[in-house]
Amino acid sequence: MPLKFNKIQKSGLKNVAELMCTAARTAPKTRGRDHLVIATLTKEDKKKVISRMKTISRRDGRPSCARDAENIKRCDNIVVIGVKNEPLGLNCGFCGYPTCKALSRTRGICSYNPMDLGIALGSACALASTFHADNRLMFSIGKACLELNLLGKDVAQVIGIPLSATGKNVFFDRD
């Protein structure tokens, strides 16, 4: 008996998620310093994230968070990529402070950290697209992960990338 598509789909998307993590890790980073935290959500973590996204939706008046929570219920694999806020010592002033030391005394974020996060996200999504896996960058997943401290307390920004392989992209018709 041939292998049914749902088993192939689950296995394929798990492999894509793992390769996305590798692509994010090897993406270029400022000064070669790696401040990324990269993971895939477990089933238990996914349940916590969905619950927190619904809470955020109600609490902050963000209906898109509840919509996204419903979307990711249908996704077995979610890659999350975050970045720690660690100034790079360039004293460039891009963050709005004259020195990295001045920035460190605030809750501000080094400008290079989110740039590195963006490059890693682009690498991960390019990999997913190469394998024709439907995906979407979701700040709502990242916000929930941050509030739950799923990637650690020193992580400043997180974006989630849910994956799907269905006859119709679950992330396409979103109201």
Which DSSP letter does residue 138 get?
B
Domain 5-84+118-164 = CATH 3.40.109.10: yes
The tens digit of pLDDT for each residue in 107-123 reads 899 999 999 999 999 99
The predicted pLDDT at position 7 comes to: 87
Please check the confidence at residue 174 and state whether its pLDDT lies above 90. Answer: no
The tens digit of pLDDT for each residue in 135-146 reads 999 999 999 999
Domain positions in the chain: 5-84+118-164
* Phi, psi at 78, each rounded to 5°: -135, 120
pTM higher than 0.85, yes or no?
yes
Please check the confidence at residue 5 and state whether its pLDDT lies above 70. Answer: yes
Q: Residues with Cβ < 8 Å from 170, sequence gap 6 or more?
A: 71, 74, 75, 134, 164
Which DSSP letter does residue 4 get?
P
Written as one string, the DSSP assignment of 62-120 is -HHHHHHHHHHTT-SEEEEEEEE----S----TTSSSSHHHHHTSS---THHHHHHHHH
The tens digit of pLDDT for each residue in 46-74 reads 999 999 999 999 999 999 999 999 999 98
Q: Which two tokens stand for residue 23?
A: 């692509």
Mean pLDDT to the nearest integer, 13-41: 97
The predicted pLDDT at position 167 comes to: 84
